[in-house]
């Protein structure tokens, strides 16, 4: 069993370490600006906005490092469950009947997409219940305790909750240079007559500044395992340079080998292919999308006939790569036209992480941007925008993503109801007002549920965190999905 080096709990060492990291991030930002200087000149407005956001976050981290270190040292906040600060009952909200229904979908053999009678477009279907369960699986990964001392002890909370859902959880690989902390990949396993596997990637721990260093690396790198150029901080975690002395293993290869072995144990290829789903939140969403992008390009990585690649549900995913990367992923996702695996990209209203690096949504503009342009970044997948206020979800405008008709399904305890989703129509005046208003903490704008009791930590978050930041947390995604589920059940 692996022995883990405990985290430093001294306020001084913790604060100094993270302030120094702030300086390092500032240095990398300045270096990135010099690299993208031609793009900054040609696209000054978007560039200044992105630079402002990055600089603001780096400054906030550097200042917040000291009080966070003191709060941790006094054990007022802990390093094992940041997600529970906002909603201690997050993992208990989903009724067992809906968990079982979601599992029945995850374990069922997929059919090819149907075609709309009028437009003849393929119809893509996503389940709100599946989305909520996969979101909880993604959030559950945050509960690993890196300071516990041993791998088994570090994962005990995750294994226990997975068992309540009727699943097994297994750790696969570390995504941070072999250190037992930071981002990692694990899998949830359902055995029996309808087996399935969910590959899940952990996102960024809110107060672990070292993890954010990779998120805010604004440079792109050539992606030989994929296409085009991909965000270096994300790509290198799955596909590190093979001559790197700091990384002694290849995470993507480790995931594939583990998955091949597990799928065979579950009977893949003898009875029927085992469904493999992928999910992640925040940084985990980026890792999940990069992982699926590779499998869409090279499905043979999991051995033909033993598995069936299903959908990827990602939550709070930032932009990943340039126009060549985005177009290649969308092309692979369309082959064949009625393929049954879709990348669903969920956006919780004002979530700022889904807007950086500031990506271009228009393919006619994106295809003309030079490789050195600061904003030659694009999202991939079918974007579903959720609304915390209960507004019906929409398909976010994106002019190069898969052209499918989107239908949302939800389970009412007896049967499923469906509703088609329409494209989001951005209103200029309302949009500009919201853009300014969402910079304010939610306690002043009313963007929180007044009917729910709140702990002191939760109230502190409402007083300090703007909607742009709060909407990124998993509990807000869950609440938005729950309101979408209620809407889908209305006649």
List pLDDT tens digits, range 368-411. Answer: 666 666 668 888 889 999 998 888 898 876 666 666 788 898 88
Six token digits for residue 25: 């991030």
Alpha-carbon distance 315 to 354, whole Å?
A: 9
Helices 11-35, 44-73: axis angle to 10 degrees equals 170
**For residue 30, is pLDDT > 70?**
no
CA distance 103 to 166: 9
Which residues on adjacent β-strands are paired with residue 406? 124
Sign of CA dihedral 120, 121, 127, 128: negative
Q: How many helices (H) and strands (E) does the chain have?
A: 19, 14
User: Among 426, 420, 366, which Cα is nearest to 396's?
Assistant: 426
Residue 405: φ, ψ to 5°? -85, 130
SS3 406: strand
Per the CB < 8 A criterion, the answer to whether 333 and 353 are in contact is no
Name the average pLDDT for the chain.
Answer: 78
Say what the pLDDT of residue 2 is.
38
- Can you give the pTM of this predicted structure? 0.84
Q: What does the pLDDT read at residue 12?
A: 59
For the ranges 54-58, 95-99, 392-396, the maximum mean pLDDT occurs at: 95-99
Best-predicted range by mean pLDDT among 131-135, 398-402, 458-462? Answer: 131-135
Mean pLDDT over 51-72 rounds to 64
Q: SS3 of 223, please? A: coil
Asked if residue 121 lies in contact with residue 404, where contact means CB atoms within 8 angstroms, the answer is: yes
- Residue 479's H or E segment, with its range, is helix 474-489
Q: Where are the alpha helices (DSSP H) in 334-437?
A: 363-366, 428-437
Tokens of 394: 């929409």
The pLDDT of residue 236 is above 60: yes
200, pLDDT greater than 90? yes
Q: The tokens of 178 are what? A: 């072999």
* Gap between the Cα atoms of 476 and 373, Å rounded: 34
Q: What is the pLDDT of residues 139-176, one digit of tens each?
A: 999 988 766 556 777 889 999 999 999 999 999 998 87
What Å distances lie between residue 115 and 121, 263, 332, 379, 398, CA to CA? Answer: 5, 31, 19, 25, 21
- pLDDT at position 5 is 38
| Cα distance between residue 256 and residue 68, in whole Å | 38
How do residues 67-80 score in pLDDT, each as one tens digit?
666 666 666 665 55
Sheet architecture: strand order including 307-315: 168-174, 184-190, 196-201, 274-281, 307-315, 343-348, 382-386, 394-395
Give the CATH superfamily of 85-489.
Alpha/Beta hydrolase fold, catalytic domain (3.40.50.1820)
β strands within 215-342, DSSP E: 220-222, 229-231, 274-281, 307-315
Q: How far apart are CA 466 and CA 471, in angstroms?
A: 9
* Residues of the chain above pLDDT 70, percent: 67
Report pLDDT for 431: 67
For residue 109, what are the contacts with CB-CB under 8 A and spacing of at least 6? 272, 273, 275, 308
Compute the distance between CA of residue 487 and CA of residue 480 in angstroms, rounded to an integer.
11
Q: What is the pLDDT of residues 290-329, one digit of tens each?
A: 999 999 999 888 776 688 899 999 999 988 988 889 888 9
Give the start-to-end residue ranges of the domains of the chain.
Answer: 85-489
Which of 59-68, 331-340, 449-458 comes out lowest in average pLDDT?
Answer: 59-68
The yes-or-no verdict on residue 426 having pLDDT over 70 is no
The stretch 436-464 carries a mean pLDDT of: 77
For Cα atoms 44, 48, 51, give the angle at the middle one, nearest 5 degrees.
140
- The alpha helices in 87-168, defined as continuous H runs, are 96-106, 128-140, 151-154, 156-164
Angle (nearest 5°) at CA 391 between 387 and 394: 70
Q: How far apart are the first and last CA of the chain?
A: 54
Residue 252: pLDDT band by 50, 70, 90 thresholds? very high
- Determine contact, residues 315/285, Cβ cutoff 8 Å: yes
């Amino acid at each position: 069993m692996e022995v883990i080096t405990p985290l430093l709990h001294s306020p001084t060492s913790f604060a100094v370490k993270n302030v120094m990291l702030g300086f390092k991030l500032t240095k990398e930002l300045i270096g990135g600006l010099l690299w993208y200087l031609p793009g900054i000149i040609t696209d000054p407005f978007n560039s200044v906005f992105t630079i402002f956001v990055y600089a603001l976050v780096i400054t906030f981290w550097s200042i917040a490092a000291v009080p966070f270190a003191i709060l941790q040292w006094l054990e007022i906040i802990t390093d094992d469950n940041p997600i529970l600060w906002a909603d201690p009952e997050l993992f208990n909200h989903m009724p067992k009947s809906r968990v079982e229904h979601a599992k029945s979908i995850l374990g069922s053999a997929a059919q090819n997409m149907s075609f709309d009678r009028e437009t003849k477009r393929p119809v893509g279907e996503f389940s709100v219940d599946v989305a909520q369960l996969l979101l909880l699986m993604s959030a559950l990964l945050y509960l690993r305790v890196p300071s516990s001392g041993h791998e088994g002890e570090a994962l005990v909370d995750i294994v226990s909750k997975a068992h309540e859902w009727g699943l097994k959880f297994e750790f696969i690989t570390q995504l941070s240079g072999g250190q037992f902390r930071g981002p990692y990949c694990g899998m949830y396993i359902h055995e029996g007559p309808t087996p399935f596997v969910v590959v899940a990637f952990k996102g960024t721990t809110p107060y672990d500044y070292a993890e954010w260093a990779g998120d805010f690396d604004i440079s792109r790198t050539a992606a030989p395992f994929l296409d085009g150029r991909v965000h270096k901080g994300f790509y290198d975690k799955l596909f590190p340079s093979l001559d790197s002395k700091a990384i002694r293993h290849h995470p993507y290869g480790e995931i594939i080998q583990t998955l091949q072995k597990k799928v065979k144990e579950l009977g893949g290829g003898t009875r029927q292919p085992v469904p493999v789903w992928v999910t992640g939140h925040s940084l985990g969403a980026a890792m999940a999308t990069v992982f699926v992008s590779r499998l869409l390009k090279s499905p043979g990585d999991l051995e033909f006939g033993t598995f069936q690649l299903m959908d990827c549900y990602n939550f709070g995913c930032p932009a990943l790569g340039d126009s060549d990367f985005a177009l290649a992923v969308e092309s692979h996702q369309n082959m064949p036209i009625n393929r049954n695996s879709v990348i669903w990209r969920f956006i919780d209203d004002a979530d700022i992480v889904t807007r950086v690096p500031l990506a271009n949504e228009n393919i006619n503009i994106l295809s003309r941007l030079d490789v050195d342009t600061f904003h030659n970044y694009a999202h991939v997948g079918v974007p579903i925008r959720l609304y915390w206020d209960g507004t019906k979800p929409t398909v976010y405008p994106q002019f190069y993503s898969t052209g499918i008709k989107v239908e949302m399904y939800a389970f009412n305890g007896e049967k499923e109801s469906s509703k088609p989703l329409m494209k989001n129509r951005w209103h200029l005046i309302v949009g500009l007002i919201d853009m300014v208003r969402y910079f304010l903490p939610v306690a002043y704008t009313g963007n929180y549920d007044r009917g729910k009791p709140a702990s002191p930590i939760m109230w502190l978050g409402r007083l300090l965190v703007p909607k742009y930041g709060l909407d990124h947390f998993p509990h807000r995604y869950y609440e938005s999905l729950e309101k979408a589920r209620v809407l889908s059940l209305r006649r």
